[in-house]
Amino acid sequence: MTTLLTPAAAADRTGVSLDTLRYYEREGLIGPIRRSPGGRREYTEDDLFWIGLVTCFRDAGLGIADLREFVAILRAEHSAQDRVTFLRERRATLEQRVAALRRAMEVLDDKIAYYS
Amino acid sequence: MTTLLTPAAAADRTGVSLDTLRYYEREGLIGPIRRSPGGRREYTEDDLFWIGLVTCFRDAGLGIADLREFVAILRAEHSAQDRVTFLRERRATLEQRVAALRRAMEVLDDKIAYYS
DNA sequence: ACTTGACCTGGAGCGCGCTCCAGATCTGAG
DNA sequence: CTCAGATCTGGAGCGCGCTCCAGGTCAAGT
């Protein structure tokens, strides 16, 4: 028997608010989450794991649309080749962000050196 | 004689739109930019340089408020110590972002490996 | 002088990613 | 059975960072 979590528990475990959980589901980033007979959401461990992935990418600055595309690619039938291509593209954009951050950090380092 | 640039030229050189240049000025991120007798903005090379810094930080994901604070710290009278402290804090938050990006990239790498 | 186009200001509008709210329903404790 | 508290839905509201617009001014060519 798989343990099911209430929305509150899921929010607690993932650090994502109830509203945001619902929002992500509406947007197709997670779920659809199964429901109890009464209509309440019941989150599985798998759901939590997936939510973790989503928040990981959100934290990295990917937008909702990006993530929706990500979900689509991983869920729908796509050749492994397509998936790899897509994933590599995403990886490249993340690397560009890292580069932008490094540039900014260099500027800060220069200023820090100047004032030290 | 220092060369002065029209707004259009400044936008062109910096890659920032006219509207955004005005917006940044209103928000106190740049300038105030000097004006011609007729009231038009005239950008100096120094202005352009500063705009470059601002866009560098914007590209790194810093918010307008962060940048305003940045400007304030660098312009107003503050001890070198204060400045260094502030700059180091900023640097730390940028490093956290890099870490978040790295985590996301690891996830992508795992998926790429899986589908390869 | 006239026209054209760049520029001015103040303010409205927009897309994103939530966040909040109202009003209804479900659930569990007593 | 009752009542409080958790959850439901649909939709409004919000902060951010621009972006766009109207109505007017300025500058340069003819």
CB contact under 8 A, B98 and A100: no
Q: What is the CATH number of the domain that holds A55?
A: 1.10.1660.10
As a whole number, the mean pLDDT across chain A is: 96
pLDDT above 70 for A1: no
Q: Is A92 inside a domain boundary?
A: yes
Chain length of chain A: 116
Q: Are residues B95 and B61 in the same domain?
A: no
- In this structure, the answer to whether residues A87 and A115 fall within a common structural domain is yes
Same domain, A8 and A40: yes
The boundaries of the domain holding residue B103 are 78-116
- Helix H segments across B2-116? 7-14, 18-26, 45-59, 64-75, 80-115
| pLDDT score for B1 | 66
- Give how far the C-alpha of residue B44 lies from the chain's centroid of Cα atoms, to the nearest Å: 17
DSSP designation for B39? S
In the predicted model, what is the mean pLDDT of chain B?
96
Of A62, A74, A108, the CB nearest to B91: A108
**Testing the interface with B: which of A56, A74, A111, A116 to mutate, by most B Cβ within 10 A?**
A111
Tens-place pLDDT, residues A37-80: 999 999 999 999 999 999 999 999 999 999 999 999 988 888 99
* A50 and A104 both lie in a single domain: no
